[in-house]
Structure 1
Amino acid sequence: MTLEEKVHLVQNNIECAAKKSGRNKDDILLVAASKMQTADKIKEAQNCGLSVFGENKAQELLEKYPYIDNVKWHFIGHLQKNKVKSIIDKVELIHSVDSIELLEEIDKRSKSINKVMPVLIQINIGKEETKSGINEDEVDSFLEKAIEYKNIKISGFMAIPPKVENKEDSRVYFTRMKSLFDRVKDLKCPQLNIKYLSMGMTNDYEIAIEEGANIVRVGTGIFGERKY
């Protein structure tokens, strides 16, 4: 399949999954996970109609950023505090806030450029030691602290469920994330605007959408297997 054919297939799958959850394709934001892809490959995807790309590493984003115009960048990987300054003026959304210390640094750097930075809180939905994120039962206390930062907008949640042999086994984790999202989405506070639920990647994005995701992060399904 060509890249264009892969993009159309993913878009069609998104539309079908959205219909199953009573929504349409325009309710779902597709973030093309462009880790290890060249600027030329990203431009090719852009020419196929994609406009939002997600990077996992600050250094990769910095290398590609000058060469690609008219796209939006999301940061979707683990973000180190010492990398925040370098990306803060380049990204539209940070998906992976997993500590108050990181939030504090994002707030500090956002304030320095007069920006309010939308962020998602990463939830370690499977309580895996190898994954970043806070636990479900820590969300309320995290939000209480997070609303103290005026140059942050808490805009929702991101999760990566445990790897499973049968992708249907991911559904229970997505359902729990949607329940968490629904519980807090209507909280009223200037620093809260809970509207995004980022979950689902190449192997399970359709199930994630069926269970309520409105952002999916698809890499291999668009660009093919990465060459490490």
Structure 2
Amino acid sequence: MNTPLAERYAAVRHRLETAVRRAGRAPADVTLVAVSKYHPAEAVAAVAALGQRDFGENYVQEALQKQEALAGEDILWHCIGHVQSRKAKDVAGRFALIHTVDSEKLAHNLHKALWRPEDDTCPVVQDVLLQVNIGEEVQKSGIDAAETARLAETVLQLPTLRLCGLMCLPPFFDDGEAARPFFAALRKLRDDLELSLGVPLPHLSMGMSGDFEQAVEEGATIVRVGTDIFGPRPPRP
């Protein structure tokens, strides 16, 4: 059925495929995460029926409610919002990828939530990204670029966590070209970390509705798109 939601989703897929081709990359190189913040589980199910598998949620409680409501769907859930350290136990092991690890305390609390001290095992390994405050904005979460290596070394020492790369929320611009330098800076930071740490960091989560084409051209492997798929966000419940 050709609904407005289906039309918006198709338009985003077309934009993404065009950007990937223009960058000389393969379609499999970039994952689209549909950000369903504030939108009902029914809307998520409708987009999943169109073939979308990866969905991002900003708020832990909202995410857990949708996971329960859509337990029968083939969905990979991404935690893309700030996680308070005391909430680590609520997210650890419940998401395919946590994009927003930004402190040693959060990393250690995620580890504690997954580790079984009685037999020194970790039945679940949680994939994580480090959130970098690439624009040095005081109002945003994320670790300073200069501190990223230290946090990465901490995460690499925790057997329950698998460090997969970096994530950023650059300063908001209507013009995606203005965001491009921040995407390039995150890519360089990732590349430098791979060299200094000697480990692969395959993922760069960067780019949203207004700038994901530029993010793809600068090396994004994950883009997070909400409004251009689901439409304007309803008020917070």
Q: Indicate the residue corresponding to 1:163 in structure 2.
A: 172
Q: Indicate the residue corresponding to 1:220 in structure 2.
A: 227
Structure 2: unaligned runs, 5 residues or longer = 117-121
Deviations 1:200-219 (A, max 9, x none): 01111111001110100000
1:36 aligns with 2:38: yes
TM-score (norm 2): 0.90
Equivalent position amino acid for 2:77 in 1: W
Equivalent position amino acid for 1:196 in 2: H
Two-structure CA RMSD over aligned residues (Å): 1.5
What's the % identity of the aligned pairs?
37
Q: Indicate the residue corresponding to 1:84 in structure 2.
A: 88
1:105 aligns with 2:148: no
1:70 aligns with 2:70: no
Equivalent position amino acid for 1:98 in 2: D
Q: Indicate the residue corresponding to 2:7 in structure 1.
A: 5
Q: Indicate the residue corresponding to 1:179 in structure 2.
A: 188
| Distance in 1 between residues matched to 2:115 and 2:15, nearest whole Å | 40
| Distance in 2 between residues matched to 1:123 and 1:36, nearest whole Å | 25
| Distance in 1 between residues matched to 2:112 and 2:211, nearest whole Å | 35
Give how far 1:184 is off. Answer: 2.2
Query: How many residue pairs were aligned?
Result: 226
| Distance in 1 between residues matched to 2:180 and 2:33, nearest whole Å | 20
1:194 aligned counterpart, secondary structure: coil
2:179 aligned counterpart, secondary structure: helix
Deviations 1:26-51 (A, max 9, x none): 21100000110111110000011111
Indicate conservation of the 8 Å contact 1:21/1:210, yes or no: yes
| Distance in 2 between residues matched to 1:186 and 1:71, nearest whole Å | 34
1:136 aligns with 2:145: yes
Equivalent position amino acid for 2:17 in 1: E
Give how far 1:125 is off. Answer: 0.4
Give how far 1:87 is off. Answer: 2.4
Structure 1: unaligned runs, 5 residues or longer = none
